[in-house]
Amino acid sequence: MSSAQWNDVSAALIVTVEQAIQQVDDELRTASLSIHAHPELCWNEHHAHDVLTALMEKHGFNVERHAYGLQTAWKATYEVGKGERTIGFNSEMDALSGIGHACGHNLIAISGCAAAIGVASALRQHRIPGKVVLLGTPAEEGGGGKVKLLDAGAYDGMSACLMVHPGTGGHGSGSATSTAIVGFDVTYHGKGAHAGGAPEKGVNALDAAVSAYVNLSVLRQQVPGTHRIQGVIAGSENWSANVIPSEARLKYGVRTPTARELMEVVPRVINCFKAGALSSGCSYEISVNHVSLDLQPCTTMEAFYQEHCKSRWGAEGYLSPGRSATSASTDFGDVTYRLPGLHPMFLLPNALGGEYPHSGSYAGVAKGPEAHQAALKAASAIAVVGARVIVDDGFASDTTSAWRKQMDDIQAEETRQNIEQLLKPFQFGNACKVTGEVPL
């Protein structure tokens, strides 16, 4: 179908998408509240897996549970005829330790379902050939679930993939970027001894961790203000004030606006880890627990998303600003390096008290009815973008061309390979260990 033909049918398709989502509003609300009431950490989203797969199966999707060798991943597919293109959506499910769904993944989960159901309904009712694939993606919070799904081929064949994410307070939605991140686990091994009776016989692992922590705190002054080096010292549950600690751990994340910038700062961070061991005489283990690339929204889909939101809801004060930059990170960034992607943020009308993702109070906001309606509005918007990718040949071609140019401009493939090479000693993607011995 040409772009001119899209203009002729788009109004009817939009109505169909919105009506389909409206018809499952109550079911989506029930699913969201159920997931919210049963927060599950990464790789343990069993309840969410069961709730969402049952929902999609009920609405005519072919559902593959425990997909791609991952117990809590799933895939829901709906196909009409034999179309040229496939549109993908994502449903995240995992919660945060101690604060539950304070990132609103219950909303992300049902947004993906809503968008997929909306597009499937449009294809069916208007007899348009095409395929919709919804992936249940586990372990966004530090587990890199989408990276594993990418490597397993879950995104193969998609013309584009979209998802939405809740943000701070307000009324509106717009495109956003996110930072690249490398997560490190570091363990220092020393030698225990009586802290009062024979301290000279000990090798203090906590000293190694503290030294590295201080080095990294100083390093923060020498990196650009857009970079983030954050971490904590762990292991205190095994410590006693009168015993030299024989083991201490660090957990760190390094974020930069682009993946290329990781290449500059990560070696300096690793040297700080090693310096802590050298100064204290400890041995050490450094492992990479996850890596996510920066988010690269496809400019063609981004522009149409903004245009649609303005034309559809602008009169009621719905804001649709241009692209915003966040210092958060997501494994969906890796998806945008492999195929055209879009990851808008939507504002929550009931988050006007300063609540924001990953704050303790945000979990309460994420279960509110206002947040639910905001999620469905954003879901309908990405559904319309997805439908256009399937229906409009020119738009689909422009989407692919724009994405390829973006990837060329940032030297995406070279950057991916360089990061893999940089982290190869740590067995990139497998959280294996590099061990160092520092002689006394």
pLDDT at 432: 41
Q: What's the rounded Cα separation, in Å, for the pair 438 and 440?
A: 7
Residue 265, classed as helix, strand or coil, is helix
List strand residue ranges (DSSP E) for 22-73, in order.
62-65
SS3 12: helix
pLDDT of residue 405: 98
CA distance 45 to 289: 19
Q: The pTM is what?
A: 0.92
**283-292 vs 341-342, strand pairing mode:** unpaired
Q: Locate tokens 């190869």: which residue?
A: 424
Residues lower than pLDDT 70 in the chain:
427-440
Give the amino acid at 393.
Answer: D
Q: What is the reported pLDDT for 438?
A: 53
CA gap 165, 331 in Å, rounded:
13
Sorted by sequence, the CB contacts under 8 Å of residue 165 that are 6+ apart come out as: 104, 108, 176, 330, 343, 344, 345, 346
Specify the pLDDT at position 211: 98
H/E/C letters for each residue in 348-384?
A: ECCCCCCCCCCCCCHHHHHCCHHHHHHHHHHHHHHHH
**In the prediction, which pLDDT does 352 show?**
84
Instruction: Please report the pLDDT score of residue 121 as a whole number.
Output: 99
The partner residues of 174 in beta bridges, in order of sequence, read 345
Looking at this protein, which amino acid is placed at residue 340?
A: P
Question: Which residues, 6 or more positions from 362, have their beta carbon under 8 angstroms from its beta carbon?
Answer: 99, 102, 103, 104, 351, 355, 356
For the chain, state the CA radius of gyration.
Answer: 24
Residue 437 pLDDT: 62
Give φ, ψ of 153 to 5 degrees: 90, 15
DSSP annotation of 237 reads: G
CB atoms within 10 A of CB 143: 22
Residue type, 120: A
Predicted confidence (pLDDT) per residue in 309-325, tens digit: 999 999 999 988 888 89
Q: In the prediction, which pLDDT does 431 show?
A: 41
Place of tokens 């939507």: 346
Q: What is the pLDDT of residue 436?
A: 64
The pLDDT of residue 181 is 97
- Other C-beta atoms lying within 10 Å of the C-beta of residue 269: 24
CA–CA distance, 329 with 254 (Å, rounded to integer)? 10
